[in-house]
Amino acid sequence: MFTRRSFLKATGKAAGATMLAGKIHTLAAQTETPAPTAANDHIQIALIGAGGQGQGDTRTALQVPGVKLVGVADCYDGRLEHCKEMWGDDVFTTRDYREVLARKDVDAVIVGTPDHWHKQVSIDAMKAGKDVYCEKPMIHMYSDGPEMIEAARANQRILEIGSQRVSSIIYAKAKELLASGAIGQLNMVNAHWDRNSAMGAWNYTVPLDASSEI
């Protein structure tokens, strides 16, 4: 008989397997001799929106062999200075993201702006010939979605949305168990995330160099 206890045990094992796989991959990367990166495998990226999530995405991207950060755009000078501290003085920085898109040495961009800028920045980037990794949520309004999809198709660009959690093996296992009837009839789903603090809830303070000037 499949009970709530056995379901939690199964999902716990799934989560552990995911974490273990990640650790094994990291360990392997540290111990194995990396394969040479071909010239065509080099990707030069730029970050648009250098807040906490954007910086985190960039740090992850730079762990991939052949990826280089060449530009950062953000409204706050303090963030731009911090990016230079982390990734070098040769990184081009600007408060106007359009200057990043005008650079021919940028292959792809990470869009880490506030939600209501996702659509415009992504579309502008794809029209400029850049592939796009856009943070979730993809859109601020439902009507924005078709425009982004059409821009990707019309310009033959890659548009990827950072909604990795929906691909988690935990959720896939839950779906499998529900479809097989192992859980029984579903009457209600109750879920929550406990972040424990204002910072954990992404309720960040306004940067010290914030200004009403454009």
Q: Assess if residue 108 is contained within a domain.
A: yes
Token duo for residue 8: 């939690």
Predicted local distance difference test score (pLDDT) of residue 43: 96
Q: Assess if residue 78 is contained within a domain.
A: yes
Give the structural domain span for 150. Answer: 41-164
Phi-psi region of 98 (alpha: psi -120 to 50; beta: other; left: phi over 0): alpha
Predicted local distance difference test score (pLDDT) of residue 131: 98
Contact (Cβ atoms closer than 8 angstroms) between residue 47 and residue 72? yes
Q: Which residues of the chain have pLDDT under 70?
A: 1-40, 198-203, 214
Number of structural domains (the chain) is: 1
Predicted local distance difference test score (pLDDT) of residue 39: 56
Q: What is the pTM of this model?
A: 0.72
Predicted local distance difference test score (pLDDT) of residue 183: 87
CATH number assigned to the domain comprising residue 133: 3.40.50.720
194 Cβ contact partners less than 8 Å away, ≥ 6 residues apart: none
Q: Is the peptide bond before 34 cis (omega within 30 degrees of 0)?
A: no
**Which pairs with CB-CB distance under 8 Å and at least 24 residues apart come from 171-180?**
173/10, 173/11, 173/14, 174/7, 174/11, 177/2, 177/7, 177/10
Predicted local distance difference test score (pLDDT) of residue 59: 96
Predicted local distance difference test score (pLDDT) of residue 164: 75
Q: Assess if residue 208 is contained within a domain.
A: no
